[in-house]
Structure 1
Amino acid sequence: MTVRPRWGVTLPLTGVPLTAHRDLVKELPDLGYTDVWSAETAGTDAFTPLALAAEWSPGLRLGTAIVPVYTRGPGLLAMSAATLAELAPGRFVLGIGTSSPAIVEGWNGGDFAEPFRRVRDTVHFLRSALAGEKVTEEYGTFSVSKFRLERPPAVPPQVMLAALRPGMLRLAAQQADGAITNWLAPHDVAKVRAEVGADTELVARVFVCPTEDADAARGLGRLLISSYLTVPVYAAFHDWLGRGDVLRPMHEAWAAGDRAGANAAIPDSVVDELIVHGSPAECVEKVAAYQEAGLTTPVIAVLPTGDDPAEVVRALAPRR
């Protein structure tokens, strides 16, 4: 069965207090949004914004994109997921992934070891734990002894995996409920879709800068691209997508400590592929192009332009 296309937004919005999202979240379904997704780096945690959204708008699907598998113990991760699943039965998606060594080791004191196996083992544990089973298991990358949720959810959440390259994409298709990806252009979707098959839900965060000032959008885009795509997992992803040669000057400047040079080395064409910009109407058309290319669920991440972020989200509602 092919899942139907959806239209999501990343919350919380930059610069907007959590409680100030209430009116917008209540309005999202009427605007045509189906999903709210959170992230977890160094801002809010992934679960609290969704707990608020679950109360404010009971029709939205809620998802984490993503929660790192290393920064919570397995039991705590299951408890957090079960709590959201209780608040939003049948409409919560637990998106998990490896994150990056900077976040796992540099910020959280963890050990970024055997990422593929750790994600696979976490999926296996979560399937059992969220079903209410008592879990005692040696998984390889961690072990669990006599864990059982006191409040197993009546409807276990879907579990999706952050995936950038073939191995993890195939794991998402075979053992999870979908794949979550990031930093790709519409014409990249077909290559990613080929690894997961036609019937697997494919979610992607799409960075949107709704301004007709192309220079400003590209300037912000370059800062983001150099910060993200120099991370080894994203560098390998874009090598696989075919951008290795065009991004090589950026990587060389970054490795030499020349941040300004790295930004300058990113061609306009790459920024325009990876950052959606233009008028709000043009941005909606460009996001829709991802769906037309085979993406199930685009999740808009609104970049700051100086305009009211809530009004921007309203302007980026899907075509009717």
Structure 2
Amino acid sequence: MTVLIDTTIACPLAEMGAAAAGAEESGYDAVWTFEGAHDPFLPLLLAAEHTDRVMLGTSIAVAFGRNPLLLATLGWDLQAYSRGRFILGLGTQIRPHITRRYSMPWSRPADRMLDMVSAVRAIWDSWTTGGRLDHRGDFYQHTLMPPLFRPSPSEVDGFGPPPVWLAGVGPAMTRVAGRVADGFLSHPLCTPEFLRDTTLPSLAQGAESSGRGRTAVHHSAMVIIGDTAQETAAARAAVRTQIAFYASTPAYQPILASVGFADLHPMLHAMSKSGDWQAMGRQVPDELVDSIAVTVDDPRDGAAELLRRYGPYVDRLGFNTPYSADPAILARLARAVRDRDR
């Protein structure tokens, strides 16, 4: 199976058009954005304007910070403008962020996500067919769609509404993705062991429950890379801190358990209460860093290791760098992966 190589871009809006054009020129198959300090949708409008070939997706947009109609509208408009290249990638975030940062409701996240995706698709179906909108779910109800608020179906002629990809870690949310999503966005912390033993079986269970085929998988692997020993050391330190941040979250403890580090979570969770992220990073052993991240000294060797770890399990592969990595270095790694895989 050929693995597609994607990139994630996080930069000021003023730089997004050039960055996306550069990614397409470098041969990437998709450009993803994520919801951090900035909105994930606006950059993709600029990316669509400056590219012709690459897919464009959110990895992720926080679903529960929005409602189905808002997501349906954003997804439709980006799909129309990009001429069929948009992927609506959604994730839940965790309860404290939804209730305290977004001031939105949280309950039964797997069931809520199932209802949200169903509602978004019901809205799109109403727009494409002209039919009556009548979605009555446990969490979302959409029963009003006057002609004034319906976009023209001709806007998505030839490609239709965008695919929906879901992110998840736990089996319940992963089963929902297998049941209703067009693809699955794996968390960067995930190990190959977790993908093999937990993610793929849960996706298969969800797909089987709804009579669907195999769900495509994207994984953004943590990589440690630099032009000099100093840059590589700084990258390793940043990855270590990022792993500590993720590992302090209860939802990710099963990932740690997949490589024998479940006992690390309680300590990091307790330390996170004081917010001393650098001290937390120092508690992450080298063995855990190397279980999750791939250190790239030579692009050819790095490509071989990435494909060995993730090639059997994923359809799309990206590079997660919680530090400022040189795009040219990452592009060399991407070319090495493509050359080795094809």
TM-score (norm 2): 0.81
- The structure-2 alpha-carbon separation of the partners of 1:304 and 1:41, relative to structure 1 and needing over 3 Å to count, comes to closer
For residue 297 of structure 1, report the CA deviation from its aligned partner.
0.9
Answering whether residue 290 of structure 2 is matched by residue 292 of structure 1, we say no
Looking at structure 2, the residues matched to 170 and 18 of structure 1 have their Cα atoms a distance apart, in angstroms, of: 35
Unaligned stretches of 5+ residues in structure 1: none
For residue 246 of structure 1, report the CA deviation from its aligned partner.
4.5
Computed over aligned residues only, the root mean square deviation of the Cα atoms, in angstroms, reads: 2.6
1:228 to 240, 246, 260: 246
1:224-263 equivalence runs, <5 A: 224-239=242-257, 243-254=261-272, 259-263=277-281
Alignment-derived partner of residue 110 in structure 1: 104
1:203 to 208, 218, 228: 218
Q: Deviations over 1:207-265 (max 9, x none)?
A: 33313445433321222122222223223444467531344443344457765553222
- The structure-2 alpha-carbon separation of the partners of 1:242 and 1:112, relative to structure 1 and needing over 3 Å to count, comes to farther
- Aligned with 1:318: secondary structure? helix
Answering whether residue 6 of structure 2 is matched by residue 8 of structure 1, we say yes
Greater relative contact order (Cα < 8 A, sep 6+): 1
- The structure-2 alpha-carbon separation of the partners of 1:71 and 1:254, relative to structure 1 and needing over 3 Å to count, comes to closer
Answering whether residue 164 of structure 2 is matched by residue 172 of structure 1, we say no
Letter in 2 for 1:279: D
Letter in 1 for 2:4: R
- The structure-2 alpha-carbon separation of the partners of 1:144 and 1:56, relative to structure 1 and needing over 3 Å to count, comes to same
Unaligned stretches of 5+ residues in structure 2: 205-212
- The structure-2 alpha-carbon separation of the partners of 1:219 and 1:85, relative to structure 1 and needing over 3 Å to count, comes to same
For residue 134 of structure 1, report the CA deviation from its aligned partner.
3.7
Looking at structure 1, the residues matched to 85 and 168 of structure 2 have their Cα atoms a distance apart, in angstroms, of: 21
Looking at structure 2, the residues matched to 301 and 271 of structure 1 have their Cα atoms a distance apart, in angstroms, of: 13
- The structure-2 alpha-carbon separation of the partners of 1:45 and 1:257, relative to structure 1 and needing over 3 Å to count, comes to closer
1:187–1:293: 8 Å Cα contact kept in structure 2? no
1:140-151 equivalence runs, <5 A: 140-147=138-145, 149-151=150-152
TM-score (norm 1): 0.86
Letter in 2 for 1:145: T
Equivalent pairs counted in the alignment come to 312
- Aligned with 2:35: secondary structure? coil
Looking at structure 1, the residues matched to 298 and 88 of structure 2 have their Cα atoms a distance apart, in angstroms, of: 30
Looking at structure 2, the residues matched to 151 and 118 of structure 1 have their Cα atoms a distance apart, in angstroms, of: 29
1:97 to 91, 94, 109: 91
Alignment-derived partner of residue 208 in structure 2: none
Answering whether residue 266 of structure 2 is matched by residue 272 of structure 1, we say no
Looking at structure 1, the residues matched to 298 and 13 of structure 2 have their Cα atoms a distance apart, in angstroms, of: 24
**Percent identical across equivalent pairs?**
24
Looking at structure 1, the residues matched to 103 and 5 of structure 2 have their Cα atoms a distance apart, in angstroms, of: 36
2:60–2:90: 8 Å Cα contact kept in structure 1? yes
For residue 166 of structure 1, report the CA deviation from its aligned partner.
1.7
2:248–2:266: 8 Å Cα contact kept in structure 1? no
1:209–1:217: 8 Å Cα contact kept in structure 2? yes
Alignment-derived partner of residue 34 in structure 2: 39
- The structure-2 alpha-carbon separation of the partners of 1:270 and 1:25, relative to structure 1 and needing over 3 Å to count, comes to same
